[in-house]
Structure 1
Amino acid sequence: MSQMFPKLPTGRFTRQFARLNNIANFPNSAVRVPATVNRLELVLKQNVQQGHMGLHQFKKWNLPTIQFHNPELCIVVKRVKVESKDEALKVPASLVINYTDGTSKTFDCKNKRSEDIMTQFIDLTGAEKVPDSEIPVWGRK
Structure 2
Amino acid sequence: MNSALRPPPPTRPLPRLYVAPPSTVPRRIDGAWWPHTFDLLAELPQLLSDLPESWGRIDSVLVNSALWTGAPGRLLVRNHVVRLHRTTSAHAPSTIVLMASGQGRRDLLVVPPDATEQTAAALLSAAGLPAEQGFPAS
Please classify the TM superposition score into its range, dividing by the shorter chain length: 0.3 to 0.5
**TM-score (normalizing by structure 1):** 0.32
**TM-score (normalizing by structure 2):** 0.33
The structure carrying a bigger helix percent of its residues is: 1
Structure with larger RCO (C-alpha < 8 A, sep 6+): 1
